[in-house]
């Protein structure tokens, strides 16, 4: 047998300014070094209660069932749909990007009849389109919408779609993967029934958990199912008994990822200590500065004006620029990771993230200066110095 020599793990310390994961907060790393205890140890049970309380604050909800799914954001997506949808159910899905398409696919795999409401990749879903489909199919069980479309940089206004969904008696499912912790997610104010997210973006925690909150109406739909939830692992009727509450005993379901729960607890604690409103202002200000800088440099933003995410900016790749060469140069020369486009936007846009711990004035200026230098070095015409100057103007205005 050939000997295998594997050296010590030594990953580079990147500045992660793409669509995620984002840089992990140092306090979160420290929390992950805490000793592992049993998943039903009294200390861990108390930690679970604290995580639930903190999640309710960040989700802006009083929902009894609020918990992290043991899995990435995609597990939260699956759990959101597989618990409430059954074969033959009708579901309306907003599709204006890669993750809307993924939701439509996942809903179809549940056996549901999917009615996509589409918009161009870079524009929000129009509430009138949702209303038209709901009128045509009044028995619709759920409306599913992406709040922050990671593939396009579009922020979806929720109020009108939420109102129309409630008027028709349907359940509202919201993908808040890229918004939770960086943009207000008003679960109860919207009347949302299922909202799911992830840990590796605005919460500045490693990937591995999917925070979720579920209304009593959605739980009632779960209880009234004609058959069992087809996923044992993601069955909320069992997961809610494991996560329980402070007055009930836990029923074993699975071994929770102890260290990741520690990490989430600390990431949420950091967010609450900063103050949610202050945190939203920080993300909004840094996003405005980056977008002003990109435009002053002579580049175009992709997402529709008035609907641009502050935490994820999409930039059209200028003529003469090679997508991979630019991203590779930023990575090799500046240790900065940015993201490329997905689906039909592959090779057409860059995705620049300012999320969680990585959303800072320093990173705004670092990214603009590096992007300008790389583009100029590759012979792409940019307005030298204008990007940083425009960003500083926004940042200094407060």
Does the pTM exceed 0.85?
Answer: yes
Low-confidence ranges of the chain (pLDDT < 70): 1, 246-248
pLDDT score recorded for residue 3: 83
| Extents of the domains making up the chain | 26-272, 276-397
Q: How far apart are CA 308 and CA 302, in angstroms?
A: 9
Instruction: Judge whether 26-272 and 276-397 match in fold.
Output: no
171-175 vs 194-196, strand pairing mode: parallel
Contact 141, 85 (CB under 8 A): yes
> What does the H/E/C string look like for 308-345?
ECCCEEEEECCCCCCHHHHHHHHHHHHCEECEECCHHH
Q: Which CATH number fits domain 26-272: 3.40.50.720, 3.30.465.10, 3.40.640.10, 3.30.1130.10?
A: 3.40.640.10
Q: Nearest CA to 310 among 337, 284, 272, 281?
A: 284
Domain 276-397 = CATH 3.90.1150.10:
yes
Q: In terms of Cα–Cα distance, which of 356, 374, 362 is closest to 312?
A: 356
Q: What's residue 251's pLDDT?
A: 87
Question: How much is the pLDDT for 114?
Answer: 98
At 391 the pLDDT is 98
Q: Cis (ω within 30 of 0) for the bond into 37?
A: no
């Amino acid at each position: 047998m050939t000997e295998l020599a594997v050296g010590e793990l030594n990953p580079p310390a990147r500045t992660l300014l793409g669509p995620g994961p984002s840089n992990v907060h140092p306090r979160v790393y420290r929390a992950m070094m805490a000793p592992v205890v049993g998943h039903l140890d009294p200390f861990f049970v108390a930690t679970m209660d604290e995580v639930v309380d903190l999640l309710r604050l960040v989700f802006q909800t009083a929902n009894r069932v609020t918990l992290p799914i043991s899995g990435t954001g995609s597990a939260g997506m699956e759990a959101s749909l597989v618990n409430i949808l059954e074969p033959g159910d009708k579901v309306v899905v907003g599709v204006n990007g890669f993750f809307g398409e993924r939701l439509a696919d996942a809903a179809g795999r549940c056996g549901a009849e999917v009615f996509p409401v589409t918009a161009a990749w870079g524009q929000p879903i129009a509430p009138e389109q949702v209303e038209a489909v709901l009128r045509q199919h009044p028995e619709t069980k759920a409306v599913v919408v992406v709040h922050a479309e990671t593939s396009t940089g579009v922020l979806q206004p929720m109020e009108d779609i939420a109102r129309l969904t409630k008027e028709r008696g349907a359940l509202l499912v919201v993908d808040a993967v890229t918004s939770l912790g960086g943009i207000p997610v008003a679960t109860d104010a919207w009347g949302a029934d299922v909202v799911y997210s992830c840990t590796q973006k605005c919460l500045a925690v490693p990937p591995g958990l999917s925070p979720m909150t579920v209304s009593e109406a959605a739980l009632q739909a779960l209880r009234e199912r004609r058959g069992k939830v087809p996923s044992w692992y993601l069955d909320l009727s069992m997961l809610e008994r494991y996560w329980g509450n402070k007055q009930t005993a836990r029923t074993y379901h699975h071994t929770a990822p102890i260290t990741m729960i520690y990490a989430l607890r600390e990431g949420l604690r950091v967010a609450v200590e900063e103050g949610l409103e202050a945190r939203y202002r920080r993300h909004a200000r840094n996003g405005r500065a980056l977008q002003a800088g990109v435009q002053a440099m002579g580049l175009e933003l992709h997402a529709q004006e008035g609907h641009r995410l502050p935490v994820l900016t999409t930039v059209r790749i200028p003529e003469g620029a090679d997508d991979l060469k630019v991203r590779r140069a930023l990575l090799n020369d500046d240790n900065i990771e940015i993201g490329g486009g997905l689906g039909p936007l592959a090779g057409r846009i860059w995705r620049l993230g300012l999320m969680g711990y990585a959303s800072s004035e320093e990173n705004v200026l670092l990214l603009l200066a590096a992007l300008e230098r790389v583009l100029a070095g590759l012979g792409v015409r940019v307005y030298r110095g204008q990007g940083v100057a425009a960003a500083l103007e926004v940042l200094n205005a407060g």
